[in-house]
Amino acid sequence: MRIFSGIQPTGRKHLGNYIGAITQYVAGQDRGEGIYCVVDLHALTVPYEPDGLRDAVYDTAAVLLAAGLEPERCIFFRQSDVVEHPELTWLLMSVTSYGDLTRMTQFKDKAGKQRERSTAGLFNYPVLMAADVLAYRAHEVPVGDDQRQHVELMRDVAERFNARFGETLVVPEARIPAVGARIMDLKSPDRKMSTTTGTPAGLIYVTDEPAAIAKKFRSAVTDIGSEVRRGPDKPGITNLIDILAAVRGVTPDAIEAEFARSQYGPFKTAVADAVIEYLTPVRERYQQLRDDEAGLERALATGAEKARVIAAQTLADVREAMGVGPVRVRV
């Protein structure tokens, strides 16, 4: 089985990224052929500082390697190093519905009231994401719950392509974690944890020091009452229960049972302590890796060479199926 996923180098990676996606990347190395990339082309669709983009790529790469990705056991690369991604994106435009793109929730959220002024890149973001996955004929895409709609679109694109041009592309499946698929902002538990739309005090960064993590959990929004239980009337506590369950690798029901007689204060302390223990090895390893930019560059370049071999074959098959370019001579 082939597994593919990408992560944007926009902002520092937070607990939601880590639980919802990064831990799945690491586990995927034991379940199949893992292909993971830092999607710097996607980062161009929102405002960014050119001088900071490469630093952000290195930051993200260091976090992923610190979390447990091993270049010897997976293919790990920078998206822009594989030119097949943008070319395949253009070819897939021919089977992508404009109406489907207008319904993408993330486009609506990011474009906001300035939709008419938003870039074509932001609008076509889901097609590039589809190309990222379909280029490798991946069977599985580990993502957070907020990416479910994008995976459905790439499935539609693959199916439409195959129906029109013949069986060429693999239709992938999303893999969304049962627990922790959508970690929410600690200060605004009605919206997901995000570096672009979240609040600084509501974000737990993977590289946060223990004191910072403890402080953020102490000030996390709770709800009316004092019961540690999930429910639509308790979004703050529900989020903390989900976080602790994901970190410990147990069910939310188990957390509720354990803290049934606890007050909010001790419960929040328990969550903070568990998250600190969970992230400390990653933070320490990150600090060692981030200083070695030459080593990070070597890892990304080696992965890109491997990725190009696979993506180039898929692109050649797509071009031939579509009648693009000369007839391919088969040896």
Residues 144-169: tens digit of each pLDDT: 777 888 899 999 999 999 999 999 99
Inter-residue contact 193 to 202 (CB < 8 Å): yes
CB atoms within 10 A of CB 251: 13
Rg, C-alpha atoms of the chain:
21
Residue pair 9/53 in contact by the 8 Å Cβ criterion: yes
Structural domains of the chain, count: 2
Asked whether residue 193 is domain-assigned, the answer is no
**Three-class DSSP labels, 110-164:** HHHHHHHHCCHHHHCHHHHHHHHHHCCCCCEEECCHHHHHHHHHHHHHHHHHHHH
Are residues 67 and 102 located together in one domain of the fold?
A: yes
| CA 142 – CA 21 distance, rounded (Å) | 6
Please check whether residue 327 lies inside any domain of the structure. no
Q: Sorting pLDDT into bands at 50, 70 and 90, what band is 104?
A: confident
In this prediction, residue 224 has a pLDDT band, given cuts at 50, 70 and 90, of confident
Q: Which two tokens stand for residue 257?
A: 């049972």
Distant-in-sequence, close-in-space partners of 247: CB < 8 Å, separation ≥ 6: 19, 271, 274, 275, 278
Give tens-digit pLDDT for 80-96. Answer: 999 999 999 999 999 99
Q: CA 205, CA 293: separation in Å to the nearest integer?
A: 21
Residue 188: inside a domain, yes or no? no
pLDDT at 199: 80
d(CA 247, CA 28): 18
Q: Could you tell me the pLDDT band of residue 112, with boundaries at 50, 70 and 90?
A: low
**Where does the pLDDT of residue 251 fall: very low under 50, low under 70, confident under 90, or very high at 90 and above?**
very high
Q: Are residues 143 and 271 in the same domain?
A: no
Which pair of tokens denotes residue 168? 């060429």
At residue 256, the pLDDT reads: 94
Percentage of the chain surpassing pLDDT 90?
Answer: 71
C-alpha–C-alpha distance, residues 328 and 331, integer Å: 10
Same domain membership, residue 255 and residue 220: yes
- In this structure, of 111-120, 188-197, 269-278, 321-330, the range with the lowest mean pLDDT score is 111-120
- Taking Cα atoms as reference points, which of 49, 66, 39, 18 lies closest to residue 296? 66
Cβ atoms 28, 34 nearer than 8 A: yes
Please check whether residues 252 and 161 belong to one and the same domain: no
Taking the C-alpha atoms of residue 99 and residue 119, their distance in angstroms, rounded to an integer, is 17
Least confident segment among 90-104, 127-141, 170-184, 259-273: 170-184
Do 210 and 133 fall into the same domain? no
pLDDT at 330 over 90: no
284 and 297 both lie in a single domain = no
**Residue 331 predicted with pLDDT over 80:** no
What range does the domain containing 240 cover? 200-288
In this predicted structure, the answer to whether residue 320 has a pLDDT above a threshold of 90 is yes
Count of beta carbons in the 10 Å neighbourhood of residue 41: 22
Q: What is the pLDDT of residue 117?
A: 64
Res. 247: pLDDT tops 60: yes
Kindly report, residue by residue over 164-214, the tens digit of the pLDDT. Answer: 999 999 999 998 876 666 899 999 998 889 887 778 899 999 999 999 999
For residue 270, give the CATH number of its domain. 1.10.240.10
40-54 per-position pLDDT tens digit: 999 998 888 888 999
- Hey, which residues does 78 pair with through a beta bridge? 38
Same domain, 84 and 168: yes
Structural element, H or E, at residue 175: strand 173-175
Q: Please report whether residue 180 resides in a domain.
A: no
Could you tell me the CATH number of the domain that includes residue 89?
3.40.50.620
Q: Are residues 149 and 33 in the same domain?
A: yes
Question: What is the spatial distance between Cα 87 and Cα 23, in angstroms, rounded to a whole number?
Answer: 30
Q: Are 230 and 161 found together in one domain?
A: no
Return the structure tokens found at 231.
């429910």
What is the pTM (predicted TM-score) of this model? 0.88
Tokens matching residue 300: 């990304």
Q: How far apart are CA 224 and CA 227, in angstroms?
A: 9
116 and 214 in one domain? no
Same structural domain for residues 133 and 90? yes
pLDDT of residue 108: 66
Tell me whether residue 192 is in a domain.
no
Establish if 59 belongs to a structural domain.
Answer: yes
Judge whether residue 250 has pLDDT over 90. yes
Residue 163 makes CB contacts below 8 A (sequence gap 6+) with none
Instruction: Check if the beta carbon of residue 143 is closer than 8 Å to that of residue 175.
Output: yes
Residue 305's pLDDT band (cuts 50, 70, 90): very high
> According to the model, what pLDDT value does residue 225 have?
81
Q: Domain check: are 145 and 40 in the same one?
A: yes
